[in-house]
Amino acid sequence: MALKALIFDVDGTLAETEELHRQAFNETFAAHGLDWHWSVEDYRDLLRTTGGKERMARHRETIGAGPSDAGIAALHKAKTARYVALVASGAAPLQPGVADLIARAQAAGLRLAIATTTTRANVAALIRASFGHPMEEIFEVIAAGDEVAKKKPAPDVYLRALDGLSLPPGECLAFEDSRAGLASAQAAGLRVVLTPSAYTAGDDFCTADFLCADLTAAATARIPELP
C-alpha cells in the first residue's frame, strides 16, 4: 500500500518534553504544599505508567499516602497550566529532523496526525510554540489520551487517529519513542519508526520496524517512500 499519512507521538518524539513535565509536576506539588518531589530516576520509573493522573495515583499507592482521586485531578489541571506556560516560553525545542520531516511530508501531500497520551492542551501549546500556528493547521487529526478509554500501550489512541483519517494502518506510519507507544501503535496494525528519547534511551526496541537515533535521516529520505 502507498504511504498516505504519518502519525506522531508527542512527548519524547516531536520534542524532548519529559523533563519539562517533571519540572511542572514538582513545581505544582510544591505550590500546593504536597511533600512530593520526583527525581529523574523516580520519573524514569513512573513513565512506565502512561498518563499524568495515573502516575500520581501510582506514586500515591507506592508510598501509601497522598491526595484523593479528586485531589489528583485538581493537581493535574494545575500541572497542565504550569507545563503549558513552560512550553510557551520556548523551553521545549523540536527533536532533530522533526520540522524538516513535517515540512517535506506536507509538500509531498502526506496527511499528518497526532496520537498521544498527553492532553490536547499540552499538544496545542507545543505546536503553537514550535510552528507558530494552531495545531489544527499542522495536523489534520489529533487523538489525545484524555479522549480514549485506555491509554498506551493499549491501541485506542492510534485506532482513534486511524478512524479520524479514515485510512487503514497499512497506509500510515507511526513515530514513537517509548515501549508503551511502540506496543500501542503495533497493536493498531501500524509500522513504527522508533527514535529513543532521553528517558527511553537504552530500552529494548527490537520489535520496532525502523530504529534510528533521530528523525534527521527520515527527513532527508525520499517522500513518500519514507522511511
Q: Could you give the residue numbers annotated as active site?
A: 9, 11
- Residue pair 29/37 in contact by the 8 Å Cβ criterion: yes
Q: In which residue are the cell numbers 537504552 written?
A: 202
Distance between CA 120 and CA 33 in Å, rounded?
A: 27
What's the Cα-to-Cα distance from 144 to each of 27, 99, 112, 179, rounded to whole Å? 24, 21, 14, 18
List, in sequence order, the alpha helices (H) in 5-153: 18-31, 40-46, 52-63, 69-88, 98-107, 120-131, 135-138
E-state strands within 74-225: 111-115, 141-143, 172-176, 191-194, 210-211
